[in-house]
Amino acid sequence: AQTIHQWPVAEIKAVGSPLSLGCTIKGKSSPNLYWYWQATGGTLQQLFYSITVGQVESVVQLNLSASRPKDDQFILSTEKLLLSHSGFYLCAWRQGEGSDYTFGSGTRLLVI
């Protein structure tokens, strides 16, 4: 069975500090991977997606970057956090077009 694991569960970071969030998928080869961001009480905004190792497409510009160093790993990062980066970050995978998404349990980030 496929599992998706996100880390850390929660972070409190200072404005201007760096950030790295991780996501690992187990039990599925070559998954399509996604990062989503959700403001408190808001909708889910797709940030990045990756179809294959080393390739990442940006959907919105939020002063964040993403990388896919391994087939089963997706990293979200920034060198300088902004207050507006606070929120809930979700990693997801799907098989392909028309299939459902499976989301991780998310990372809650508070920037102060």
Partner 1 sequence: SQLAEENPWALSVHEGESVTVNCSYKTSITALQWYRQKSGEGPAQLILIRSNEREKRNGRLRATLDTSSQSSSLSITATRCEDTAVYFCATDADTGYQNFYFGKGTSLTVIP
Least Å from the CB of residue 12 to partner 1:
16
48 burial class (0-12, 13-18, 19+ CB within 10 angstroms)?
buried
Using left for φ > 0, alpha for ψ between -120 and 50, and beta otherwise, residue 16 falls in left
Least Å from the CB of residue 17 to partner 1:
24
Pick the closer one to partner 1 by CB: 14 or 96: 96
State the residues that interact with partner 1 by CB under 8 A.
32, 34, 42-44, 46, 49, 51, 57, 59, 90, 92, 96-106, 108
Pick the closer one to partner 1 by CB: 9 or 14: 9
Distance CA 93, CA 108 (A): 19
- Whether the CB-CB separation of 92 and 4 falls below 8 Å is answered with yes
Token readout for 17 is 């500090």
Least Å from the CB of residue 68 to partner 1:
14
Pick the closer one to partner 1 by CB: 7 or 103: 103
Least Å from the CB of residue 16 to partner 1:
27
- Whether the CB-CB separation of 73 and 23 falls below 8 Å is answered with yes
Pick the closer one to partner 1 by CB: 46 or 65: 46
